Amino acid sequence: MLEVHRLEAGYGPFQVISDVSLVVRPGEMVALLGPNGAGKTTLLKALMGLTWRRGKIVFQGKSIEHLPPHRIAHLGIAIVLEGRSLFPEMTVYENLLVGAYRPMARQRFKERLSEVYTLFPILKNREKQLAGTLSGGEQQMLAIARALMSAPKLLLVDEPTLGLAPRLGTELLRLLSNLKAEVPILLAEQNVALTLELADRVYVLEEGRVVLEGPAKDMLQDTRVRESYLGIR
Ligand code: ATP
């Protein structure tokens, strides 16, 4: 579904990501873990064509590394960035409408809207409310819901639990993992324990390189991960 080979990414002359290879398979939720500044966001942005410098990115058998971001979005990769990039002066409904920009998604707008409202009932209750007046958790749900309105084939999510109360963060990550059969997910997270519980596979990034990778379940047993990231001996 997604294959990344020896990716390099960065900003202008600043290289942040070096020699990163990864895969996301159908039905998977794959997580990028690592400390602040490790390059998780930069990596996700590179897949959208925003920070790419070198390396191969193959999505559904097609090389996409030279495509501009809007073409990549139209192929079916959707990204939910930290900060959520909602339109605060527009209603919840209008934000969802904007999300359905792919022609395929527009044709099935009503159907998708009702699916998204089933996933996030609170958004239906707040349909006419301005996005800027929602709570942090509701805004995060709206950002994910808006991405889903584009009928994506792959969903990239940057730190969905950031700034949320722990219970809400857990709920949101569970909800994402329930979506993976329909749309595979690559997410960046800082909540190590929760990620290892819910993700299928994990890549640990440090200073822009993958330092550890494997099934989440194996990592939970890994002494190095337990000591360095979970503080468990
Ligand atoms: P965080 O959890 O803080 O978002 P991260 O793992 O997602 O961390 P990135 O945001 O990808 O890390 O940042 C990686 C490096 O790239 C950092 O050193 C950061 O200072 C740098 N960086 C991020 N955005 C820019 C930018 N727009 N221009 C230049 N450098 C940037």
Tens digits of per-residue pLDDT, 11-63?
988 999 999 999 999 999 999 999 889 999 999 999 999 999 999 999 999 99
Q: What pTM does this model have?
A: 0.93
Query: Structural domain boundaries of the chain?
Result: 1-76+153-233, 85-151
Ligand 1 proximity of 208 Cβ (cutoff 6 Å): no
pLDDT at 233: 59
Cα 199 to chain centroid distance, Å, stands at 12
Ligand 1, closest atom to CA 44? 11
- The CA distance from 133 to 156, in Å, is 25
Residues 103-125 pLDDT 10s: 777 788 899 999 999 999 999 99
Tokens standing for 28? 């998977």
How far does residue 40's CA lie from ligand 1's centre (Å)?
A: 8
> What order of strands is seen across the sheet that includes strand 77-80?
77-80, 154-158, 185-188, 29-33, 201-206, 209-215
Ligand 1 proximity of 13 Cβ (cutoff 6 Å): no
Evaluate if residue 183 carries a pLDDT over 70: yes
Check if CATH label 3.40.50.300 holds for domain 1-76+153-233: yes
